[in-house]
Structure 1
Amino acid sequence: MRQRLVPLGLLGLLSVLGAPAAASTATYCPDDSLRAHPPQVNFRVDNDLFGGKAQDQGYSNGAQLTLVSPNLLDYTDDPCLPKPARWINRHLEQLHAGRFDQQNMLFSLAQRIYTPKDSARQDLIEQDRPYAGVLIGSFGYNARRDNHLQTTQLTLGVVGPWAQGKQVQGAVHDLLGGDRFQGWDNQLHNEPVLMLTHERMQRWPADDSHRATGWGWDAISHYGGALGNLSTRANAGAELRVGWKLPDDFGSTPLRPAGENTAPTRGGRTAGWSWHAFMTANAAWVVRDITLDGNTWRNSHRVDKRHAVALGGYGLAVMKDRWKFALARYHSTREFDGQRQPPVFGSFTISRAL
């Protein structure tokens, strides 16, 4: 079988962010695997200004870069993964799924910024949420059988000044001509964060042969949870999609694991234009959220979190050959007692198969 040389500038990041050895090496991967299931990169931006006027509050801004491997034979010996990824995966075998039809791996790097509503106050606003910056990296393992998918992600990072939330938000506001938030001296303290996330999804109906060639619809149910000092929760929900040439994936909602163009596929890319509209809903029981509960081992600002939280969203996804664009708007119930407005924010995602 012919072999194709795959640059590791992206695939190396699936295992080690910025590893010098990975950046200077290359991995040989079967050409047929790359042609049908190429690696891809996704970039997402969330911002509450997309939600409407005077919405610069709560989950203020987020950005995430996700790198996705081709479909893999396994996580420890597949030639489509660089050696650093295979070495790390041998030490994380407890997170791997059992035997499935398709499986792949992803790595993401994300920053999230949370602020209260009043940007001018320099004092601690006790009745509003804490200032918080979060900087995290995640390893993800996706495994698929027919119309079922399970995904497991391990997230490591930091909350506090080390996350550079103040600097990034200030630079963006300077660029756009907006006022800087003045209360960042009250942000949460530096704290390492860890979270293990697991979700399971299913697509309906079972026969999806017509959806790839014309008009169609599908629904994706999901349930799962997370455990860690960053967030501990259980959740469940669903997504409904209607459109032309629906993709063979598990949703267009970028806020959830495997929800945006990262799941293994069973066929090649769809040629030409395709598009679909989507609606999504998610309900969660939140045990812990560090951005609301404050630091775990140190005294810090906190608010009275609401345990039951629901999120609804709607959007549009457009695909052309290697490219996919998705625009969404989300509405959440209030997250803590005394919150003035239910959060509203938007999200834009751009994806490209390599």
Structure 2
Amino acid sequence: MPLRLRALAPLALALCAACSTSRDPDLDLDGPLEMVSIAMDNDTFTGSDNNYTNGIVVGWRGGEHRAYTEDSRYRRWIEFWSFLPAMDDTTCDTYAAWSVGHELYSPDDITVAVPDADDQPYAAVFFVDSTLLARSDRVTHSWNLRLGLVGPSALGEELQSGVHQLIDVEDPAGWDTQIPDEPVVNVDYAVAYELLHAGRQGAIEARFVPLAGAGVGTYFTGAAGAMYGEVGWNLPDSVSLVSLRRGVDPALELVSPRGGWSVSLFAGGGGFAVANYLPLDGNAFRSGPSVKSEPFVAFASVGVALRYDRWRLGYRQTLFTDTFQTQREAVDYGTLSLSYSY
């Protein structure tokens, strides 16, 4: 029997259980403590419909773990991982986050039942991410565990066909050739360093942040290096992380946003050294469609963020160099994100 999405239900429930928290009434908390967010990638924002065609992630990020009672599951979860580098640093504030996501990949020509063997395979990936963050004044460390599945059980055909029918466009014909069912397991580490922060609070400010990361597992094995700059009015503290399909975006705000309006422009770029990338290189433990990943992929991202009180609305566009050796068109897409802190 193929893997089913319901097979991950116990995992998702277990992860979400850690979000059931108790706040310590004796603590004087300044501003919002937690954050919910949703982000959607789609290539129709840029007028294309090829390769990486859609992604959606819904997440929850808790507050600094010492703001919770000692017996809360959230705090105990973070303290359990204190053996990881930076997670036991008493000079850092530590947080945990969970997210559920889905990604769709399709070839350039979705009208043929058997796509070219040298084009992007059809693929759907469903995943649950469990993330730990440790932040000091200038440095943020991130550890992420991704569990999920790739294949027909991720329901990519049903999702893409339904959306295409809804918007009255060509129905994809080649999903019978998609990457087969297989579990996804990946561990990732990233670090961001705020090298420069200039300006006056409540006025124009700017920051410059280099980043680096690495991953190992069935989803992505490789390393990354990137940097971004952001300039705007009334900037809150934030940090960006890097992933092969998201570029960079300073959207993960770990502290209380400043009151009133805030607006900023940002731009970033970097590259990935790629040993294996599941949506291109295919299954790790069984045969299936695949193409050869490029060993190095560069990207550039530009965007804007608008904040008001506890809300943040962001949009960015990301452009990649060729991600596989027989690629026909460049991969570019837009990302729309919305978050609320409370």
Report what 2:52 is aligned to.
Answer: 59
Q: Bigger CA drift: 284-293 or 165-174?
A: 165-174
How far apart are the structure 1 equivalents of 2:297 and 2:129?
24
Aligned-CA RMSD value: 2.7
Query: What letter is aligned with 1:213?
Result: G
How far apart are the structure 2 equivalents of 1:152 and 1:258?
17
How far apart are the structure 2 equivalents of 1:38 and 1:28?
10
Query: What letter is aligned with 1:116?
Result: P
Contact 1:279–1:315 at 8 Å: present in 2 too?
yes
Query: What letter is aligned with 2:270?
Result: N
Any residues of structure 2 matched to 1:114-133 within 5 Å, and which?
114-133=105-124
Report what 2:162 is aligned to.
Answer: 171
How far apart are the structure 1 equivalents of 2:61 and 2:247?
12
Shift of 1:146: 0.9
How far apart are the structure 2 equivalents of 1:48 and 1:82?
41
Q: Secondary structure at the match of 2:24?
A: strand
Q: Secondary structure at the match of 2:41?
A: strand
How far apart are the structure 1 equivalents of 2:18 and 2:69?
16
Q: Do structure 1's residue 79 and structure 2's residue 69 form an aligned pair?
A: yes
Report what 2:251 is aligned to.
Answer: 261
How far apart are the structure 1 equivalents of 2:118 and 2:237?
45
Report what 2:319 is aligned to.
Answer: 331
Query: What letter is aligned with 2:65?
Result: L
Query: What letter is aligned with 2:213?
Result: G
Report what 1:98 is aligned to.
Answer: 88
Any residues of structure 2 matched to 1:1-354 within 5 Å, and which?
17-18=12-13, 22=17, 27-30=22-25, 32=27, 34-52=29-47, 55-73=48-66, 78-79=68-69, 82-83=72-73, 85-86=74-75, 88-89=77-78, 92-95=81-84, 97-99=87-89, 100-205=91-196, 208=198, 210-251=199-240, 259-265=249-255, 268-354=256-342
How far apart are the structure 1 equivalents of 2:236 and 2:113?
48
Contact 2:273–2:295 at 8 Å: present in 1 too?
yes
Contact 1:142–1:258 at 8 Å: present in 2 too?
no
Shift of 1:162: 1.3
Where structure 1 has 5 or more consecutive residues not aligned to the other structure, the ranges are 1-14
Give the count of matched residue pairs. 330
Where structure 2 has 5 or more consecutive residues not aligned to the other structure, the ranges are 1-9
How far apart are the structure 2 equivalents of 1:309 and 1:342?
11
Q: Secondary structure at the match of 2:49?
A: coil
Structure 2 vs 1, CA of residues 44 and 81 (structure 1 numbering), >3 Å: closer, same or farther? Answer: farther
- Identity within the alignment, %: 26
* TM-score normalised by structure 2 residue count: 0.88
Query: What letter is aligned with 2:212?
Result: Y
Q: Secondary structure at the match of 1:312?
A: strand
Structure 2 vs 1, CA of residues 228 and 271 (structure 1 numbering), >3 Å: closer, same or farther? Answer: same
Query: What letter is aligned with 2:188?
Result: T
Structure 2 vs 1, CA of residues 165 and 115 (structure 1 numbering), >3 Å: closer, same or farther? Answer: same
Q: Secondary structure at the match of 2:157?
A: helix
Report what 1:9 is aligned to.
Answer: none
Structure 2 vs 1, CA of residues 123 and 319 (structure 1 numbering), >3 Å: closer, same or farther? Answer: same
